[in-house]
Amino acid sequence: MSVFWNSRTRNLDPYVPGEQPRDRRFIKLNTNENPYPPSPLVIETIREAAGEELRRYPDPECTELRELIARKYGVKEEQVFVGNGSDEVLAFSFGAFFEPLSGAACPGSSAAVSRPVLFPDITYSFYHIYARLWGIPCHTVALDDTFSVRAGDYRVPSGGLSLPNPNAPTGRAVSLAELRSIIEYQYREGGGVVIVDEAYRDFGLVQAGESAVSLIDEYPNLLTVHTFSKSFSLAGLRVGFAIGSGELLEGLRRIRDSFNSYTVDRLALAGAAAAIADSAYYEGINRRVMATRDRVSLALTSLGFDLIPSLTNFILVRVPGKSGAEAFKALRERGILARHFNQDRIQDFLRVSIGTDEEMDVFLTECGGLIRE
């Protein structure tokens, strides 16, 4: 603590990212990065963009990229907002759409809260942090015993919702019919904006025709949020976007332009545009990720591991006979990084990102060693 921090800074409990080791070489399965490199077209396009035009500010409206995203997702250009990673887009969304309450803190506020924002009790931990940062009252809704979202729990009066679909770190998804029932209730009852965070949609939802993007034209209170970090192999580039109604996007622009009008740089815009243009490459590598995920899931089940069925590029697993902390330490000693969350209900699980087939073969071998111990 510093005497120079204000009360907002003192009350924050910042997000802790996954370990990015420098001291030794690991098989890195802890941050849900895509195990395959970006498209060669992306690399070439970034090289070409790294010229004298870098002296000029980038397009603040990201026009070319928005046009390409709109075409790919079957929406209008004016329904697309681009930001510096989906985390920035989510932070802008909390600031733009969810009402703060003086003195409210999340979680554990003693303030009288009538219309809190809702999200699952086991989910992306940044939601709590955004709520606290913006002073937004919130309420976590318990997942059921299978770590699934119960749609009926969200058909209640609220100040808005934030739902990742599929959810992280559980990997489970809500059906499009269930999502529609939630969004419809919140729209008809004046419950506020529903954010559906589709960071992992390309690892299962799209193939099943379950993306919430298909509901955008029906519900002006719906905002879907997306990232280039996962299925486009561009976690190091930091590009994200939202799809929603014009009035929602204008709210995002008002927040953005109160911070920094030029959030996405020229190289990121060029690389993301090239990624959209090479969709065939990414469809191919993401099919490989899904096939590896399913193979590894079957193998772990045969070893006696507990795991949650996943529609993402990671799996949530429990090593029999070991606590989550013990399993994390044992794998790390064997040169494998996973992610452990010291959180109620999942403290004995590890979230394991899907690597290449070769990396996952090593992981399975080491898991067999843990069982033999």
The answer to whether residues 191 and 160 touch, using CB atoms and an 8 Å cutoff, is yes
Residue 112 has what pLDDT?
A: 40
Per-residue pLDDT of the chain (373 residues; tens, 9 = 90+): 898 898 888 888 888 877 777 766 899 999 999 999 999 999 999 999 999 999 999 999 999 999 999 999 999 999 999 999 999 999 999 999 999 986 444 554 444 446 899 999 999 999 999 999 999 999 999 999 999 999 999 999 999 999 999 999 999 999 999 999 999 999 999 879 999 999 999 998 887 778 999 999 999 999 999 999 999 999 999 999 999 999 999 999 999 999 988 889 999 999 999 999 999 999 999 999 999 999 999 999 999 999 999 999 999 999 999 999 999 999 999 999 999 999 999 999 999 999 999 999 999 999 999 888 7
Q: What is the pLDDT of residue 11?
A: 85
Cβ contacts of 191 within 8 Å, gap of 6 or more:
115, 157, 158, 159, 160, 161, 185, 221
Q: Which among 218, 366, 359, 210 is positioned nearest to 293, based on CA atoms?
A: 359
Q: What Cα–Cα distance (Å) separates residue 264 from each residue in 52, 53, 61, 89?
A: 17, 15, 9, 11
**Start-to-end Cα distance in the chain:** 43
**Class of 7-37+280-372 in CATH:** alpha beta
Q: What is the DSSP letter of 312?
A: S
DSSP 313: S
Length of the chain: 373
Measure the CA–CA gap between 335 and 27, rounded to whole angstroms.
6
Local structure of 14: helix, strand or coil? coil
Cis peptide before 116 (omega within 30 of 0): no
Q: What is the domain partition of the chain in residue ranges?
A: 7-37+280-372, 40-278
- With DSSP H G I counted as helix, E B as strand and the rest as coil, what are the percentages for the chain, rounded to 5? 40, 15, 45
Query: Which CATH class name applies to 40-278?
Result: alpha beta
Pairwise CA distance, residues 246 & 249, whole Å:
5
Q: Which of 131, 123, 78, 164 is nearest to 345 (CA)?
A: 123
Its pTM stands at 0.93
